[in-house]
Amino acid sequence: MNPTKEIVLLERARLGLIHTLVILDAANRLSPPDTVDVNSLMGAARDLLGCHLEEIDSALASISAGGAK
């Protein structure tokens, strides 16, 4: 049984959200916190979240249109 394209996109987005949490955890563990490093990590987290939210939106739109059967 092969997963549909939408399921694959949602699984990839879920993994991306986990990666984002790892980045945020790394930013939280910096000692002493360096503003430049924290800003870089926060920027990376924002980029990942945006990318994966687009994947989720695309998958949900496809499912709503009847694409996941």
Domain assignment of residue 30, given as a range: 5-64
Give the Cα-Cα-Cα angle 34, 28, 47 (nearest 5 degrees): 85
In 3D space, the residue among 37, 34, 33 whose CA is nearest the CA of residue 45 turns out to be 37
- Predicted TM-score (pTM) of this structure: 0.70
pLDDT at 17: 92
Q: Rounded distance, CA 20 to CA 61, Å?
A: 23
Q: Rounded distance, CA 7 to CA 58, Å?
A: 11
pLDDT at 3: 59
Tens digits of residue pLDDT in 11-53: 989 999 999 999 888 888 887 777 888 888 889 899 999 999 9
The total of structural domains in the chain comes to 1
Residue 45 lies in a domain: yes
pLDDT at 30: 81
Residue 51 lies in a domain: yes
pLDDT at 49: 92
pLDDT at 2: 46
Residue 24 lies in a domain: yes
Residue 69 lies in a domain: no
